[in-house]
A and B are shown apart, each in its own frame.
Chain A
Amino acid sequence: MNIVVTVKQIPDPNVAPQLDGNRLKRTGVAGVLDPGDEFGVEAGLQIAAAHGGEVTVVSMGPAQAMEAVRKALSMGATKGVLVSDDALQGSDALHTARVLAEAIKNTGFDLIISGVESTDGYTGVVPQMIASILDIPSATFAKSIEINGDTVKINRQTEKGYDEVEVQMPCVITVTAGVNEPRYPSFKGIVEAKKKPVDEPGSPVAGESTSQNVESVNDAPQRGAGEVVEDDGSGAAKIADFLAQAKVI
């Protein structure tokens, strides 16, 4: 089975983000493999281990995004593709999906796994767009994945619980943070990752990289002060009311 996992390097979330104009600065800042993508890589590795096949990680980003690709390889992926092209700077979600879909098509695929959304842009639409461009089904928000022949069954996380969804391969699956526990790379894995093949094509897609223009960037509004409730014996009930109002319970 050819399992493709899409990965992205994001600026280290533990460091205050810097802007480059109205866009997030991505080069020359400390980057990490998007923590959300680690679940995708782990899911791919587990499926490959259980059902045979290999895992290819596909990424788009500046040259330094190679670090994120290597991290995924050090976890155990077989090979990588990093599409790096100056013309792709500032790509919007749709163009990113076009580029990744083309790169994935060139790699060959039976199953494509992505994180639900990136931890920097949070558009959460790229995987579905890839599925649409490749004309294959997608099943999203998987909190578990089961493979039976060429059928993929997932438990799809919902607000109330989960739905059981079945799709035929080839397909796109997006995984939530609860789907598994990503492994830590071993020292040997880190050393071997340097020797694994990574294809670095230029952009396989021509045309404008974005139809969007970011007009301005504003700070998130400060969170207001909380309400202080003195516990006169009715504290528990008040907490329950508050949670019910917030529709948490």
Chain B
Amino acid sequence: MSLSPEHEEFRKVVRAFADREVRPKAAYYDERAEFPTDVILACGEQGFLGLPIPERYGGAGADYLSYLICVEELARVDPSVAITVEAHTSLVCNLLYHFGTEDQKTRWLTPLAAGKKIGAFALTEPGAGSDAGGTQTSAREDGDDYVINGAKMFITNSGTDISLLAIATARMADGQISAFIVPVGTPGFEIGRKLRKIGWHASDTRELAFTDCRVPKHNLLGESGKGFNQFLAQLDDGRIAIAALAVGQAQGCLDECLRYVAERRQFGRPIGSFQAIQFKLADMATKIHHAKLAVYHAGNLRQNGDPFKIEASMTKLFATEMAVDIAREAVQVHGGYGFIEEFPVARFYRDSKVLEIGEGTSEVQRIIIARQLGLDPGLR
């Protein structure tokens, strides 16, 4: 893992921002399951909603590693904020930047990367999760428009006050899957109710419905019929970012444990003086260290333009399973206090499980890794 002194300096800045601007509000928004619009706009003002995007498209003109650092440090205090930034950047800004026409970038990427608005990526459907190729949503040509029909599920950032658009995948008449920019407010684009989740309460997750939803032909993103494969390649980017999110959240758990074990006394001693507790914390620190090395190793490969597919999947798999383990152990270290909502580890515990599911389940990661090892996974 080689982060430059500039990256380490940037980490300090994001950490200070997260401590001052995000941490004090995390429990408030979680408890109310309310989207933290003010916090996200504050992130936007710092350039955190467009870190890897060039300045000419509204971005901060930073790089991919600084983006990973940002997601990690935000997750350390509030995974809901981190996933909002991650889904917006990895899935939406990244796709618009790589596949958008100049007009699309000017019109749609710029307000997103500048942090004035956020975007949603609508791939998953009620019946198409890991099997994203099973997309049922359809797009048919009609004059100068495409007409989209279908439903999408678990779509992050889709129904907030600052949501600008969804990038929705749909099957064309020739059977190929393409993607379309669908602005919020387009007739026939219905933003469904906010889903009640066991974690990530402050992130906005919804069901979307498209009913004869017309978008102009120039809203097709990328080449017709090639969208699906192009996008799958870009999803590797997001996997490293989710791993960074997992590392940050696990570090947040360890921070809370270190504070708690120094204060909590049982049998006349701080519980941090018991070896049973010390070993738990030593294990946590060791796992976080290794997951972090993996994140920034994969991040460096990505930043340098080297292949990183297997590393992205291995890192996502390892870091997210680690984060779930550590959240569980962090609650254990807190005992009964870990089971009540006043303590941040309870929130981290609820927030952790989805890490093994979103942006490719642990099982999907294992399939990808096995394929990269040259094994035939038996899927046809």
Complex Cα distance A190/B60, Å? 12
| Bound CA–CA A184/B13 (angstroms) | 6
> From residue 35 to 70 of chain B, which have CB atoms closer than 8 A to chain A?
46-47, 51, 55, 60-63, 66
B262 located at the interface, meaning its Cβ lies under 8 Å from any Cβ of chain A in the complex: no
In the complex, the chain A residue whose C-beta lies closest to that of B51 is: A187
For B47, give its contact among A74, A186, A191 (CB under 8 Å). Answer: A186
**Contact residues in B for A71 (Cβ distance below 8 Å):** 9
| Complex CA–CA separation, A187 to B17 (angstroms) | 13
> Does A185 sit at the interface, judged by CB under 8 A?
yes
Contact of B60 among A74, A188, A194 (CB under 8 A): A188
**Cβ contact within 8 Å between B6 and A184:** no
Inter-chain CA distance A71–B6, complex, in Å, is 11
A150 to B16, CA, bound (A): 36
Which of A74, A184, A186, A194 lies in contact with B62, CB distance below 8 A? A186
Residues of B within 8 A of A185 (CB): 9-10, 13
Asked if B66 and A187 sit within 8 Å, CB to CB, the answer is yes
Shortest Cβ distance from B70 into A: residue:
A187
Q: In this complex, which of A184, A185, A186, A191 has the most chain B Cβ atoms within 10 angstroms of its Cβ?
A: A184
A190 B46 Cβ-Cβ under 8 A:
no
Residues of B within 8 A of A184 (CB): 13, 16-17, 46
List of B residues within 8 angstroms of A191 by Cβ: 6
Task: Give min CB distance, B27 to chain A, whole Å.
Answer: 23
Docked pose: A43 CA to B103 CA in angstroms: 39
Q: A174-207: which have CB < 8 Å to B?
A: 184-188, 190-191, 194
A42 nearest CB across to chain B (Å) = 14
List, in ascending order, chain A residues with CB within 8 A of B10's CB. 185, 187, 190
Across-interface contacts of B51 in A (CB, < 8 A): 187
Chain A neighbourhood of B62, CB < 8 A: 186-188
Chain B residue nearest in CB terms to A187: B62
| Chain A residue contacts of B13, Cβ below 8 A | 184-185, 190
C-alpha spacing A194/B7, complex, angstroms: 12
Which residues of the partner chain B approach A74 to less than 8 Å between Cβ atoms? 9
Q: Is A187's CB under 8 angstroms from B6's CB?
A: yes
Indicate if the CB atoms of B16 and A190 lie closer than 8 Å.
no
Q: Are B46 and A186 in contact (CB under 8 A)?
A: yes
**In the bound complex, do residue A190 and residue B6 qualify as a contact, i.e. CB atoms below 8 Å apart?**
yes
Contact mask for chain B residues 127-165; partner A; CB cutoff 8 A; 1 contact, 0 none: 000000000000000000000000000000000000000
The chain A residue sitting closest to B17, CB to CB, is: A184
Within A102-116, which residues are at the interface with B (CB < 8 Å)? none
Closest to B14 in A: A184
Which of chain A's residues have a CB closer than 8 A to the CB of B6? 187, 190-191, 194
Kindly list chain A residues whose C-beta atoms are within 8 Å of the C-beta of B55: 188
- Considering only CB atoms, which chain B residue lies closest to A192 in the complex? B6
Least distance between B65 CB and chain A CB atoms (Å): 9
Q: Chain B residues with Cβ under 8 A from A194's Cβ?
A: 6
**In the bound complex, CA of A190 to CA of B13 (Å):** 10
Cα-based distance from A185 to B10 in the complex (angstroms)? 8
Give A118 to B61 CA distance when docked, in angstroms: 35
Give chain B nearest CB distance to A35 CB in angstroms: 10
B60 touches A187 (CB 8 A): yes
Q: How far is the CA of A184 from the CA of B22 in the complex (A)?
A: 14
For the complex formed, measure the closest distance between the CB of B139 and the CB atoms of chain A, giving whole angstroms.
38
Assuming the contacts A184-B16, A184-B17, A184-B46, asked whether A190 and B61 have C-beta atoms less than 8 A apart, the reply is no
Q: How far is the CA of A71 from the CA of B12 in the complex (A)?
A: 11
A205 to B46, CA, bound (A): 41
Say how far A63's CB is from chain B's closest CB, in angstroms. Answer: 15
Q: How far is the CA of A51 from the CA of B47 in the complex (A)?
A: 25
Contact A190 B17 (CB under 8 A): no
Q: Which residues of B contact A187 (CB under 8 A)?
A: 6, 10, 47, 51, 60, 62-63, 66
Smallest distance from the beta carbon of A74 to chain B beta carbons, Å? 7
The contact string, 1 if C-beta is below 8 Å from chain B, for chain A 121-132, is 000000000000
Q: Mark B1-28, 1 if CB is under 8 A from A, else 0.
A: 0000010011001001100000000000
CA distance A71 to B10 in the complex (A): 10
Against A, the Cβ 8 Å flags (1 = close, 0 = not) of B249-280 are 00000000000000000000000000000000
Closest 10 CB pairs of A and B: A187-B62, A187-B66, A187-B10, A190-B9, A190-B6, A184-B13, A191-B6, A184-B17, A186-B47, A185-B13
Q: Footprint of A on B, CB under 8 Å?
A: 6, 9-10, 13, 16-17, 46-47, 51, 55, 60-63, 66
Sample (27) of A-B pairs whose CB atoms are under 8 Å apart? A184-B13, A184-B16, A184-B46, A185-B10, A185-B13, A186-B46, A186-B47, A186-B60, A186-B62, A187-B6, A187-B10, A187-B47, A187-B51, A187-B60, A187-B62, A187-B66, A188-B47, A188-B55, A188-B60, A188-B61, A188-B62, A190-B6, A190-B9, A190-B10, A190-B13, A191-B6, A194-B6
**A185-B13, A186-B46, A190-B13 given; 9 more Cβ-contact pairs under 8 Å:** A74-B9, A184-B16, A185-B9, A185-B10, A186-B47, A187-B62, A188-B47, A188-B60, A190-B9
